[in-house]
């Protein structure tokens, strides 16, 4: 299985590039100029979304540093105990939608502490791998498009994170316990 | 909405920090956010320029339209409001492909590109269209079939079977993606249709 995955990982990008460039060349497009023109747009877009990334990171870092999460986790202990969720992975539930780097480093910490092949290591990896950083995606994607009214997007993103979190714990219990 | 949310998160953080004596961490956290935002953006600059360059070729050669037409059945179902021969469809397909293959660094630029194409169809309104909400729902749900980052992280921390999480991750990501699509459809009932 890992060999198969590494083949897909290493072949997919070169293959996509090969296909797109060859098709452009076949259609007699000045691919070099078209590429650089698009790349310039990419730089502009990155600069445009910078303020959104900054605003979001400030809010997220403040709430993380405030220690609010410890209190929420402590408050939720009866509930997580009742649902038999391993206490160690509960912080991931809050970190994952907020910050990709924070949740990845917490996952790395859990693997170091309990071992990557322990039950906790497997649950943490599954949670980390199965959902995205909802707040980042929301701020960046909608920021780049100039959207100010999100409709129901935030609630949908968070509800699906919750669904993914419980699904990861459920399937890990089923397969690894 | 984001206006209120931003205010609440920051104020709540400050009040809690004041009560718990964590104030010293707050300024550190703010300065860390400032430098992190630059690092993140610089990290995004290369992939963004690269993929928008590549996508520009795909678009000018009308390859994106072709891809959109090929995947018409799926797109018509998930994005009923988007014309299949519109460049937006091709960009959506590219974004979903990058997500599924676990190419995190490439998925973001392609997703932003798709979002901008959808915004064109949305007549540059400041309110997200239903199609934009759906695309965002899929992206926040993190649809993936190859959790490449996690497998390499597990291998790096000395796992005997780094890919053992493949099945569990695919299961969890399918659950979160399907529920995202269902929640998206469900909440539309309460959303007004005008832009």
Verdict on whether the full-model pTM lies above 0.95: no
Nearest of A69, A21, A107, A8 to residue B57 by alpha carbon: A21
| Side-chain-side CA neighbours of residue A153 (13 Å) | 29
Closest chain B residue by Cα to residue A3: B163
Give residue limits of the domains in chain B: 1-49, 62-188
Least confident of A90-94, B101-105, B115-119, B185-189: B101-105
Q: Do residues B6 and A55 touch, judged by C-beta distance below 8 A?
A: yes
pLDDT surpassing 80 at residue A38: yes
- Per the listing, tokens 């060349």 go with A25
Nearest to B128 by CA among A115, A131, A138: A138
Percent of chain A residues topping a pLDDT of 90: 63
**What span, in angstroms and rounded, lies between the C-alpha atoms of A39 and A51?**
20
> Which pLDDT score, from 0 to 100, does residue A159 have?
96
Residues from chain B contacting residue A144 (CB–CB below 8 Å): 112, 115-116
**A156-162: average pLDDT:** 95
> Is B173's CB within 8 Å of A8's CB?
no
pLDDT at B105: 75
Range 36-65 of A in CB contact (< 8 A) with B? 36-43, 45-47, 49-50, 53-55, 57-65
pLDDT over 90 at B50, yes or no:
yes
Q: Mean pLDDT over residues A67-84, rounded?
A: 87
Look at residue B194 and tell me whether its pLDDT is greater than 70. no
* pLDDT the model gives residue A75: 87
B121 touches chain A (CB under 8 A): no
Residues 38-97, chain B, touching A (beta carbon < 8 A): 40-41, 44-45, 48-58, 60-63, 97
pLDDT, mean of residues A22-28: 96
Report the candidate in A24, A41, A139 with the shortest Cα–Cα distance to residue B113: A41
For residue A79, how many other CB atoms are within 10 A of its CB? Answer: 10
pLDDT band at B5 (very low <50, low <70, confident <90, very high): confident
Find tokens 């018409």 and name the residue.
B72
Distance of alpha carbon B88 from alpha carbon B117, whole angstroms: 5
Helix/strand/coil percent split, chain B, to 5: 80, 0, 20
CA dist A172 → A25, A64, A76, A123, B7 (Å):
48, 28, 21, 6, 38
CA nearest to B17, candidates B32, B28, B2, B4:
B28
- For B103, name the nearest residue in chain A, comparing CA atoms only: A9
The closest CB to that of B29, out of A61, A139, A154, belongs to A61
Chain B residues in contact with A115 by the CB 8 A cut-off are 158
Residue A43: its chain B contacts at CB < 8 A? Answer: 45, 48-49
Give the orientation angle of helix A90-98 with respect to helix A134-145, to 10 degrees.
10
Q: Which residues pair with A149 in a beta bridge?
A: B127
Average pLDDT (A153-161) is 95
Instruction: Burial-class residue A2 by CB neighbours within 10 Å (0-12, 13-18, 19+).
Output: middle
Q: Tell me if A159 and B179 make a contact (CB, 8 A cut-off).
A: yes
Average pLDDT of chain A, as a whole number: 90
pLDDT at B35: 94
The tens digit of pLDDT for each residue in B131-168 reads: 999 999 999 998 888 887 888 889 888 888 888 898 99
CA-nearest residue to B194 within chain A is: A151
Read off the tokens for B26: 């707050």
**ipTM of this predicted structure:** 0.88
Summary mean pLDDT of chain B: 90
Q: Please report, for chain A, the start and end positions of each structural domain, with discontinuous segments joined by +.
A: 46-176
What pLDDT is recorded for position A2?
Answer: 60
């Amino acid at each position: 299985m890992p060999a198969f995955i590494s083949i897909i990982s290493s072949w997919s990008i070169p293959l996509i590039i090969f296909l797109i460039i060859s098709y452009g060349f076949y259609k007699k497009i000045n691919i070099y100029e078209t590429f650089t023109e698009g790349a310039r747009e990419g730089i502009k877009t990155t600069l445009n979304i910078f303020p959104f990334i900054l605003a979001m990171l400030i809010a997220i870092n403040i709430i993380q540093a405030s220690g609010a999460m410890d209190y929420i986790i402590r408050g939720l202990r009866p509930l997580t105990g009742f649902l038999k969720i391993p206490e160690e992975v509960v912080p991931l539930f809050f970190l994952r939608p907020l910050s990709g780097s924070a949740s990845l480093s917490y996952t790395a910490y859990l693997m170091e502490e309990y071992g990557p092949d322990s039950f906790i290591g497997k649950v943490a990896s599954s949670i980390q791998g199965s959902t995205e950083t909802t707040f980042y995606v929301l701020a960046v994607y909608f920021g780049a498009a100039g959207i100010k009214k999100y409709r129901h997007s935030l609630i949908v993103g968070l509800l699906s994170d919750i669904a993914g979190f419980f699904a990861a714990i459920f399937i890990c219990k089923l397969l690894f316990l | 909405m984001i206006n209120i949310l931003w205010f609440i998160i920051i104020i709540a953080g400050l009040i809690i920090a004041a009560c718990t004596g964590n104030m010293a961490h707050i300024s550190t956290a703010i300065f860390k956010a400032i430098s992190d935002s630059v690092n993140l953006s610089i990290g995004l600059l290369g992939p963004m320029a690269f993929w928008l360059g590549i996508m520009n070729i795909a678009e000018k050669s009308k390859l994106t339209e072709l891809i959109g037409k090929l995947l018409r059945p799926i797109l018509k179902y998930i994005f009923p409001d988007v014309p299949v021969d519109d460049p937006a469809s091709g960009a959506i397909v590219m974004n979903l492909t990058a997500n599924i293959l676990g190419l995190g660094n490439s998925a973001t630029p392609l997703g932003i590109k798709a979002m901008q194409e959808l915004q064109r169809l949305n007549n540059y309104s400041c309110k997200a269209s239903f199609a934009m909400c759906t695309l965002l729902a899929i992206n926040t749900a993190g649809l993936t079939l190859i959790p490449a980052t996690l497998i390499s992280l597990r291998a790096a921390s000395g796992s005997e079977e780094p890919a053992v999480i493949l099945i569990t991750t695919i299961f969890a990501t399918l659950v979160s993606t399907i529920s995202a699509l269902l929640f998206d459809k469900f909440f539309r009932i309460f959303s007004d249709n005008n832009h």
